[in-house]
Amino acid sequence: MTTLLCRLAGPRCSSWRCLGAVLRGTHSRAYLLIHRDGARTLAGGSRPLTGHSRAHSRWQHTEAAEPVEVDLKRLAGGDDGIVEVLMCRHKARNALGHVFVSQMRELVSTLSNDSAVRVVVFRSLVSGVFCAGADLKERALMNNTESDLFVHGLRSLMTQIASLPMPTIAAMDGVALGGGLELALACDLRTAEHSAQMGLIETTRGLLPGAGGSQRLPRMVGITLAKELIFTGKRVGGQTALEMGLVNRAVEQNQTGDAAYREALGLAREILPQAPIAVRMAKEAMNRGVEVDISSAMAIERMCYAQVIPTRDRQEGMAAFIEKRPPRYSGE
Specify the pLDDT at position 64: 56
Q: Under CATH, domain 70-271 is a member of which superfamily?
A: 2-enoyl-CoA Hydratase; Chain A, domain 1 (3.90.226.10)
Whether 182 is catalytic is: yes
Residue 7 pLDDT exceeds 70: no
Q: Which residue is catalytic, options 84, 138, 182, 193?
A: 182
pLDDT, tens digit, 9 for 90 and up, residues 253-270: 999 999 999 999 999 999
pLDDT in tens, 82-101: 999 999 999 999 999 999 99
- Per-residue pLDDT, 136: 85
- Look at residue 47 in the predicted model and tell me its pLDDT: 36
Q: What is the topology classification, in CATH, of domain 276-323?
A: Lyase 2-enoyl-coa Hydratase; Chain  A, domain 2 (1.10.12)
What pLDDT digit, counting tens, does each position of 10-43 carry?
333 333 333 344 334 444 333 333 333 333 333 3
Burial class (CB in 10 A: 0-12, 13-18, 19+), 175: buried
Query: Same topology for domains 70-271 and 276-323, yes or no?
Result: no
User: Which of the following is catalytic: 179, 199, 210, 238?
Assistant: 179
- Say which residue, 318 or 25, is predicted with more confidence: 318
- Contacting residues for 26 by C-beta, under 8 A, at least 6 apart: 66, 68, 70, 71, 103, 106
- pLDDT band for 65, please (50, 70, 90 cuts): confident
Domain locations in the chain as residue ranges: 2-61, 70-271, 276-323
Stated as kind and residue range, the H or E segment containing 221 is: helix 213-221
Of residues 134, 176, 196, 211, which has the active-site annotation?
134
Q: What is the pLDDT of residues 205-253, one digit of tens each?
A: 999 999 999 999 999 999 999 999 999 999 999 999 999 999 999 999 9
Residue 138 bears catalytic tag: no
